[in-house]
Structure formats: structure tokens, C-alpha cells
Amino acid sequence: MARPIWKGYITFGLVNIPVVLYPAEKKFDIQFKLVDSRDKSRIRYVRINENTGEEVPWDKVAKGYEFEDHNYLLVKEEDIKSIAGENTKTITIEHFAHKNELNYMDFDKPYYLVPDEKGEKGYVILREALKDTKTVGIAKVMIHTRQYLAALMPYENALVLNLMHYHKEMRKPSEFDLPSDNLKAYKISHKELEIAEQVIDSMTTKWKPEDYHDEFREALDHWIEDKIRHEKPGAASKMKEAGGRRKGNVINFVDLLRRSLNQTKKTKPTKLHHKTPHKHKTARKKS
């Protein structure tokens, strides 16, 4: 089981619910170590004082805020805790919002909240109330040395705390040179758009996250196993390509989309629903 990273209370109104915070993610990354290519010895980093050139022991390492060039204000853990006060131990719900008002771009990282001792009843009440009202709690929480904005939401039998980006942390689309929604400016025909929608409809299936896996990680695992056994990596260890790229510009989008549609029909997936293409089929019935 994952290790807890935080312990405290969910608070809203006069209610306090004791909870423990656990990471919702599981990491499967291959950890590469830095080694000397000549003899495969590990490379170690040392903490060097830039003035004396001597190594600094861990118990002398501190956090410093640079308020001027080469001038630092030392900030201790107890200073941070003193500034945060009781916020270091609380997930404070400031208000509730309808779940459809939140944008997926706001979310950053999910955590599971598990009820602590004698916290089950309050936990269940809050979970079920959020489900019934289709709302999420907008909260603030201190984790380590930072205060996060977060959305507290129900997920199956769990309450999940999804850390969010503050508004000022997100870049706006207007900062980028993006195409406008003026279709005429890009000479996009109704036929191109209509066939593109048919391709999307033909490829629409029920979302099953368990069907997706990290193909690169699997290929890398096979390659490493082959290398360790002194075998030459075969074709099976290569990452499956999503599709070949062609050089040059594709001009005939209608032809490309029709070929895509034909390809999806050959290997037709299980459909979530059937969406009758609009306009062009209706017109045929009338004629």
C-alpha cells in the first residue's frame, strides 16, 4: 500500500473530518542512474560551498530566499509552519461549485483521502452529499511548503483531492498564435468538416482506460532484457508506431478523410452509441 503523505482534517462550516492523504498515482518509470561510461561506476553529487570549495553536510543545508544578488534570507521549517498556522493540518473547503463548471485544464494531480480514526461517518456523509448535489468542494491545503488550490470530489467509494492550478499559473490561449474559428479563412469546406465528423463517429467507442498501456515502457523493458541476455533486440521490442508520416503537404483533405473512414469501417470497434450523420443522409431521403 502507498505511504501517506499528509494527515489532518477536512473542514467546512463547523464540520471536521479526520483524513489521511495518499497518492493516487503509481509510478512505473525505469530509473536510470548516472554512471561513468568508462568503468560503469556510479556518479555521485556533492554539496559544495561556492566560497570555501568544501562539502556541506546535510545538517547544515538550509533554504534561502534570494532578495538581492547573493543576499539570502534563511527560511526554516518552523517559520513556514508558523506562517501557515492551522492550515498545515486542514483541507479547508471555502465553497462548493457544480462539477460541470470546472475545466479539465485546471487539474494537476489527484490524491485519495481515506478516513482516519472515527472519521468514517462524516466521510460518507460528505461523499454522498457531493454525489447527490453534483458538486465539488473548492479547498486550500498546505502540502510540504506550499499552499495548493484543490477540488474535493467523490470517485466511486472514495473522496479524491485533485490539486489544481491557480488561475495566474495557467497560460491563456491568446498568448499563442492559434488559428481562428473563421472556417472561410482556411478554405475549409462543409464536406471536409462533415467527413471529419463521420471519421470521429466511426472511431468513437466506450472509454476503457484499462485498454491503454505504455507501449514505450514495454518495448524498453524487452530491449533491456534482451541486452542483459546478450541477445540482439528483435523487431518485437520496437515500439508500435501509431502511423507513418508522409513527407510533403496533404492537400486533398476530403480524400484523406474518406480513406480514414474506410479504414475504420474495416476494423469497426464496439460503438458507444450510433450517431446518425446529419444533413447529407437526410437530403438523400428527400430526393
The answer as to whether 252 is a domain residue is yes
The confidence score (pLDDT) of residue 212 equals 82
Amino acid 234: pLDDT: 53
CATH code where residue 9 lies: 2.40.290.10
The reported pLDDT for the residue numbered 247 is 43
Average of pLDDT values for 199-228? Answer: 84
Q: Give yes or no: residues 221 and 265 share one domain.
A: yes
CA distances from 61 to 50, 53, 54, 113 (A): 13, 15, 13, 33
Task: Please indicate, yes or no, whether residues 137 and 8 belong to a single structural domain of this protein.
Answer: yes
| Each residue's pLDDT tens digit, 90-127 | 899 999 999 999 988 889 999 999 999 889 999 999 99
Same structural domain, 162 and 195: no
If we measure between CA atoms, which residue out of 155, 62, 50, 176 comes closest to residue 113?
A: 155
Q: Which three cell numbers stand for residue 151?
A: 477540488
Shared-domain flag, residues 105 and 157: yes
Q: Are 63 and 111 found together in one domain? A: yes
Tell me the pLDDT tens digit for each residue of 63-92. 888 888 888 898 887 787 777 666 678 899
d(CA 188, CA 180): 12
What is the per-residue pLDDT across 128-149, written as a single tens digit (0 to 9) for each?
Answer: 999 999 999 999 998 887 889 9
pLDDT of residue 207: 86
Residues 73 and 191 in one domain: no
Q: Report pLDDT digits (tens) over 254-263.
A: 777 777 777 7
Q: Are 166 and 196 in the same domain?
A: no
Q: In this predicted structure, what is the pLDDT of residue 228? A: 81
**Do residues 219 and 237 make contact, with C-beta atoms less than 8 angstroms apart?**
yes
Question: Are residues 132 and 227 located together in one domain of the fold?
Answer: no
- 157-172 confidence digits (pLDDT tens): 999 999 999 999 999 9
pTM of the model: 0.67
Measured CA to CA, the distance from residue 239 to residue 229 in angstroms comes to 20
Residue 280 or 64, more confident: 64
Q: Are residues 247 and 280 in the same domain?
A: yes
Q: In terms of domains, do 148 and 188 share one?
A: no
Q: Is the pLDDT of residue 197 over 80?
A: yes
